[in-house]
Chain A
Amino acid sequence: MITKLKFDPVDAWQPYSPSVNQPWTIRLAAHLLRRAGFGGTQAQLIQAEQTGFAATIERLFDVNSAQAYNQEMEISGRLVTTSADAKSLAAWWLLRMAKTPCPLQEKMTLFWHGHFATGAEKVNDSRAMLRQNALLREHCLSPFQPMVTALSRDVAMLIYLDSTENRKTRPNENYARELMELFCLGPGNYSETDIKEIARCFTGWEVRRNQFVFNRHQHDPGQKSFLGVHGNFDGDQAIDAILQQPAAARFIAKKLIRFFVFDDEPISDELAEPIAVELRESAFDIALAMKRILSSKIFFSDLSVGKKIKSPVELAIGALRFFDVSVNLQQLGDRLQRLGQLPLYPPNVKGWDGGRSWINASTILARANLFHEIFNNSSNTYAAGSLADWVASQPSDPQYAANWINDFLLAEPLSTAAATELQQQFRRSPALAISCLAAVPQFQLN
């Protein structure tokens, strides 16, 4: 049922509309909810299928639905950072991902965290990490420029990229370089001179006692020339000039496509262009670009379905949500770190590479072992009561029950015989069935 068309760049981003040839199915709903969040429960997926595609997209983007929840979590985030290190804050974020009523918001926040990667180890101030996390969440589905402007003043970012002492006589190029290479333009779209000049714009942007301060004595007010513009620019104006570059929208479009659509397929300028245009014409409104991507033909085609590997966070949070199980999140954080992805602890300023880099001989076994550990731990609690109760509470309607593992859980199906055998095992010993499922290559796909 998944369309096998090859797309030309323009057609790729045309809206998908359910039709007889391409009906809106549980499998497509599961694909959408996995990518736009951390997967849905069976009830949520059935609801998505029954209320239809358009209504599902609307619900995904309804950020207001999380308002009350977000307020609660802000309070506990503050308390967590009072006493504990950023590892606990990472656990707090994992909890938030597992329980949020608006998964797209957390998924986007995670995306931007990887994009503007900042490591808690170096920042060494969990309050600053918490503030940055709130900032990313606040801007995650809004215009891009205000987010960059805010991040340029963010304490954690300034510490992480050594711009805490960016003085007139000795401008630190680190932030200016990453601003263009990693945050806004991508390599090849600026010169070393541009870096030097833009670094001057940010001189005097300092951190003092955990606060951002503009130190006018250290700011270089002189004339700067970069990217074809000249003037007595400051940092905000530099950001403005950078985002005026045609490469900027294309760069962001490519990053979004890579994160949400597929791992391996090359992304040509042509393919990215329609999304880039969307961004340019909407003052970089990320929500619009995301709606376009998540509603596109290519997103629901075989170029995308089953063409991403689950990140460790997607793997674990997906299971917590699907089976509605509560676990010790600090321990889960430790496990995820060994699997290669603990939020707030990116490997370096590039963030997580994703895709095939998640997988090696050690992690492929550890991923399965994580599930074995979670589902054999008797101190974990299930909303349904127990794992057996969870199995018993699943829909019995044969339309959904007959092939539920393939439909609800797998982006690339198992053979019918294998799936049936596994479903039977779920009735006999669900913990064993899940542990085995987690060892299957198909399960690693998102």
Chain B
Amino acid sequence: MNTRRNFIKQTLAGSALISLSGAVPQYWLGASRAALLHSDEKILVVVQLSGGNDGLNTIIPHGFDEYYQNRFTLAVNQQNVLKINDQIGFHPALDDFKRLQDDGQLTIVQGVGYANPNRSHFESMDLWHTAHRTQAVRQLGWLGRTVEQAWNDSDLPALHFGEGLQPLALRTDQKPIPSVRSLQEFKLHVLANDKASTLLEPLLKSPPNPKNQLLSYLHDSSQIARATSHRLEGIAPVADDRFGYPDSNLGRNLNVIAKLIESGLSTRIYYVTLDGFDTHSNQGPAHQGLLSDLGSSLGAFMKQLSDQNNHQRVAVLSFSEFGRRVRENASAGTDHGAAAPVFLLSGTVSQQIVGDHPDLQDLDEGDLKFKIDYRQVYADVLQNWLQVDSTAVLGNRFEPLGLFA
């Protein structure tokens, strides 16, 4: 605690210089540096696909007859598949993914899952979120543990963007990770009134009673919050046309995240979700809509990051709690399955594809068998991207996959 307060005091002096040049009230800049991220610190953006994404209709094994035999109405015609090689290709709605992969910015990790697959949404998602198979009542998220182990001093190590409940992956033991519905919440609304800042400035300068540690804590938090808010000023909450974001929640959230990254916010982990993948019937058009949203949102996001020259320090991890059964059901849909592909996007990735497509003949009760444990993906992201001890976070050593160039 103490070290951080000293740090803030030191930066106060530095930022006073900045404030001389502008009309910004000094108290805004109180801790502006404290919340800045060094440019060599890497950022992770998680895009969760909720409901169980149909991996087989995302990365399509067009070179296998079994696919066409099992997907009698849902199969994507071979000529429409965006082919990666003579075995697999992207769903036609994922043209942005194809482009990114050709540019060396996207890796498909094939057949990711875990042993003894659980087909309940909640339980499987809990496993992905906690990376632990335990009976404990109060579980922490793998990212929550990461934050507490690695950046416990950071004020805003992680942010969840979205309306819904916070994913368990972000659950911490001590300091909760904020869920942000909108940029509106990152502003002090009273400042819309011109008189407010002249009234507030002396109030906030009022030196806190040094004997009251809690008050010092509040004072620091409030300075950091306002400095952050100041940096976010001018970020518009509407999606940026320049990069081709779709008019969707995912598009808007990713656009805001890109703007936050550009602002130099100290946040290391951003988390967003796309819901609706539980396609039990008439899957075709619904799934196509979701993939199109996913592809064009992330396509625009990567474009914007490149435009900011931040694409080399941001990685996107996209996963779903499970894939779906190989054989489609009687309602032109698919039911809960097991292994599925995971996507990793970044300025430079090491390979286009990691792992083999799961065998369509060797099934486990009608489901694809997993080849890569999801925690290997986590281990790689933790160890080789976020520079965090993956064994400590995951409670076990998992072999990284070498996803990053």
A and B touch in the complex (CB under 8 A): yes
Residues of chain A touching chain B, judged by Cβ–Cβ distance below 8 Å, are 174, 177-178, 263-264, 302, 306-309, 338, 340, 347-350, 353, 356-357, 359-366, 368-369, 372-373, 412, 414-415, 417-418, 421-422, 425, 429, 432-433, 435-442, 444-445
Bound-complex Cα distance A43 to B215 (A): 28
For the residues of A in contact with B, the DSSP-based class is helix
Residues of A within 8 A of B200 (CB): 436, 439-440
**Max chain B Cβ within 10 angstroms of own Cβ: one of A264, A366, A421:** A366
Residues of B within 8 A of A369 (CB): 185, 187-190
Q: Of B178, B188, B195, B219, which is within 8 A of A441 by CB? A: B219
Known: A340-B176, A432-B190. A412 touches B204 (CB 8 A): no
**Max chain A Cβ within 10 angstroms of own Cβ: one of B190, B200, B229:** B190
Residues of B within 8 A of A436 (CB): 190, 196, 199-200, 203
Residues of B within 8 A of A366 (CB): 185
In contact, B189 and A440 (Cβ under 8 angstroms): no
Q: Of A349, A364, A418, A445, which is within 8 A of B203 by CB? A: A418
Known: A340-B176, A441-B215. A360 touches B204 (CB 8 A): no
Q: Of A365, A417, A437, A442, which is within 8 A of B188 by CB? A: A365
Bound-complex Cα distance A444 to B188 (A): 15
B228 at the interface (CB under 8 A from A): yes
Known: A418-B206, A432-B196. A264 touches B213 (CB 8 A): yes
Residues of B within 8 A of A338 (CB): 179, 181, 185
Known: A361-B225, A368-B188, A436-B190. A414 touches B203 (CB 8 A): yes
In contact, B193 and A417 (Cβ under 8 angstroms): no
Q: Give min CB distance, B207 to chain A, whole Å.
A: 8
The 5 nearest A-B residue pairs measured at CB = A362-B178, A441-B218, A435-B190, A361-B225, A372-B189
**Max chain A Cβ within 10 angstroms of own Cβ: one of B178, B186, B212:** B212
In contact, B174 and A439 (Cβ under 8 angstroms): no
Bound-complex Cα distance A369 to B219 (A): 17
B155 at the interface (CB under 8 A from A): yes
Bound-complex Cα distance A440 to B204 (A): 6
Bound-complex Cα distance A348 to B206 (A): 37
Bound-complex Cα distance A433 to B208 (A): 20
Bound-complex Cα distance A421 to B222 (A): 21
Residues of A within 8 A of B207 (CB): 415
In contact, A421 and B137 (Cβ under 8 angstroms): no
Can you give 17 contacting A-B residue pairs, CB < 8 Å? A307-B214, A309-B214, A309-B218, A338-B185, A350-B138, A357-B175, A363-B178, A365-B185, A369-B187, A369-B189, A432-B195, A435-B193, A436-B190, A437-B203, A440-B204, A441-B219, A442-B208
Nearest to B213 among chain A residues (CB) is A264
In contact, B195 and A429 (Cβ under 8 angstroms): yes
Bound-complex Cα distance A349 to B187 (A): 32
In the complex, given contacts A356-B217, A425-B199, what are 11 additional A-B residue pairs having Cβ atoms less than 8 angstroms apart? A306-B209, A362-B180, A364-B225, A365-B229, A369-B189, A372-B190, A412-B209, A418-B202, A429-B195, A436-B190, A444-B218
Q: Of B137, B176, B181, which is within 8 A of A177 by CB? A: B137
B221 at the interface (CB under 8 A from A): yes
B224 at the interface (CB under 8 A from A): yes
Q: Give min CB distance, A315 to chain B, whole Å.
A: 12
Bound-complex Cα distance A263 to B228 (A): 27
Bound-complex Cα distance A338 to B160 (A): 12
Q: Give min CB distance, B383 to chain A, whole Å.
A: 28
Bound-complex Cα distance A364 to B174 (A): 17
Residues of A within 8 A of B221 (CB): 359-361, 364, 441
Q: Of B138, B178, B196, which is within 8 A of A361 by CB? A: B178
Q: Which of B133-184 contact A (CB under 8 A)?
A: 137-138, 155-156, 174-176, 178-181
Q: Of A263, A350, A353, A439, which is within 8 A of B204 by CB? A: A439
In contact, A365 and B187 (Cβ under 8 angstroms): yes
Known: A361-B225, A412-B209. A439 touches B188 (CB 8 A): yes
Residues of B within 8 A of A442 (CB): 206, 208, 215, 218
Bound-complex Cα distance A436 to B199 (A): 7
Bound-complex Cα distance A285 to B187 (A): 47
Residues of A within 8 A of B190 (CB): 368-369, 372, 432, 435-436, 438-439
Q: Of A360, A421, A437, which is within 8 A of B155 by CB? A: A360
Nearest to A422 among chain B residues (CB) is B203
Residues of B within 8 A of A177 (CB): 137
Known: A362-B185, A365-B225. A433 touches B199 (CB 8 A): yes
Nearest to B166 among chain A residues (CB) is A347
Q: How many A-B residue pairs have CB under 8 A?
A: 144
Residues of B within 8 A of A356 (CB): 175, 214, 217
Known: A421-B199, A439-B200. A361 touches B156 (CB 8 A): yes
Q: Give min CB distance, A314 to chain B, whole Å.
A: 14
Residues of A within 8 A of B212 (CB): 306-307, 412, 445
Known: A338-B181, A357-B175, A368-B188. A439 touches B222 (CB 8 A): yes
Residues of A within 8 A of B181 (CB): 338
Q: Of B188, B193, B206, which is within 8 A of A414 by CB? A: B206
Q: Give min CB distance, A18 to chain B, whole Å.
A: 24
In contact, B174 and A357 (Cβ under 8 angstroms): yes
In contact, B156 and A360 (Cβ under 8 angstroms): yes
Q: Give min CB distance, A345 to chain B, whole Å.
A: 10
In contact, A360 and B138 (Cβ under 8 angstroms): no
Nearest to B220 among chain A residues (CB) is A441
In contact, B137 and A445 (Cβ under 8 angstroms): no
Bound-complex Cα distance A373 to B184 (A): 12
In contact, B189 and A364 (Cβ under 8 angstroms): no
Bound-complex Cα distance A364 to B220 (A): 11
Q: Give min CB distance, B195 to chain A, whole Å.
A: 6
In contact, B217 and A359 (Cβ under 8 angstroms): yes
Q: Of A422, A432, A435, A445, which is within 8 A of B215 by CB? A: A445
In contact, B218 and A353 (Cβ under 8 angstroms): no
Residues of A within 8 A of B203 (CB): 414, 418, 421-422, 436-437, 439-440
Q: Give min CB distance, A268 to chain B, whole Å.
A: 18
Residues of A within 8 A of B155 (CB): 360-361
Bound-complex Cα distance A163 to B168 (A): 23
In contact, A360 and B175 (Cβ under 8 angstroms): yes
In contact, A445 and B214 (Cβ under 8 angstroms): yes
Residues of A within 8 A of B214 (CB): 263-264, 306-309, 356, 445
Q: Give min CB distance, A71 to chain B, whole Å.
A: 36
In contact, A441 and B222 (Cβ under 8 angstroms): yes
Bound-complex Cα distance A306 to B212 (A): 8
Nearest to B165 among chain A residues (CB) is A121
Bound-complex Cα distance A120 to B213 (A): 35
Nearest to A359 among chain B residues (CB) is B221
Bound-complex Cα distance A414 to B218 (A): 14
Residues of A within 8 A of B137 (CB): 174, 177-178, 349
Q: Of B138, B174, B187, which is within 8 A of A348 by CB? A: B138
Residues of B within 8 A of A308 (CB): 214
Residues of B within 8 A of A357 (CB): 174-176
Bound-complex Cα distance A441 to B187 (A): 16
